[in-house]
């Protein structure tokens, strides 16, 4: 049975660590498979769109992503449950967009972050099988956010305009409608 783990909050040193790569033969161990189950359960329990291993105090290059009618991000396109091990992201082209991001490790704060609009994602899945796919639009931003964690970066490090920082309540009241319109335009363009 999976365990809901504590989520590291901004200021915890583990969030600034570069996580270590996971050896393929480690993936089939009960410890790593159990940890991945815990990571998924913790992400779902917290209504996260993703969760990186170091956010639950394990500095391993593993992250989980999933978006399916998420109450924290009702405007995000669906991402099926995806486990990335040792992920590598490569921008496709120079196009970027401004994403309004939040984070389970930075509670009650949101801010605008510039992200690549198209990415190539390469990683191993939880069973050591290679993954190689493209992510676009808002979904590409979600992948970039989670992989940043594995390299000791938080979204607040990438906020270009500090005046965009706001609480979740302020975002909902003053900025969500405008951001939803931007997201709808991205989804119309990229489909995700």
Instruction: Dump the DSSP string for 77-93.
Output: PPEEEEEEEEEEEEE-S
Mean pLDDT of the chain: 94
User: What is the rounded distance in angstroms from the CA atom of residue 88 to the CA atom of residue 45?
Assistant: 27
pLDDT of residue 37: 98
CATH classification of 13-190 is 3.30.1490.120, yes or no?
Answer: no
If pLDDT is split at 50, 70 and 90, which confidence band does 121 have?
very high
User: What is the rounded distance in angstroms from the CA atom of residue 181 to the CA atom of residue 70?
Assistant: 18
Q: 173 pairs with which residues across the strands?
A: none
If pLDDT is split at 50, 70 and 90, which confidence band does 185 have?
confident
Active site residues: 146
Max CA-CA distance within the chain? 49
pLDDT in tens, 144-169: 999 999 999 999 999 999 999 999 89
């Amino acid at each position: 049975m999976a365990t809901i783990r504590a989520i590291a909050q901004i200021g915890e040193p583990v969030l600034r660590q570069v996580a270590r790569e996971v050896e393929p033969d480690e993936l089939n161990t009960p410890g790593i498979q159990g940890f991945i189950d815990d990571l998924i359960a913790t992400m779902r329990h917290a209504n996260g769109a993703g969760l990186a291993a170091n956010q639950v105090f394990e500095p391993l290059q593993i992250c989980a992503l999933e978006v399916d009618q998420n109450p924290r991000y009702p405007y995000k396109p669906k991402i099926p449950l995806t486990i990335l091990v040792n992920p590598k992201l490569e921008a496709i082209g120079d196009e970027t967009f401004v994403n309004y991001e939040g984070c389970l490790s930075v509670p009650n704060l949101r801010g605008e972050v510039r992200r690549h609009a198209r990415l190539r994602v390469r990683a191993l899945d939880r069973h050591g099988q290679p993954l190689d796919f493209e992510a676009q639009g808002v979904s590409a931003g979600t992948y970039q956010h989670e992989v940043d964690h594995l390299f000791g970066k938080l979204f607040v490090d990438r906020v270009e305009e500090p005046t965009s920082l706001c609480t979740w309540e302020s975002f909902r009241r003053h900025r969500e409608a405008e951001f939803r319109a931007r997201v709808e335009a991205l989804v119309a363009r990229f489909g995700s």
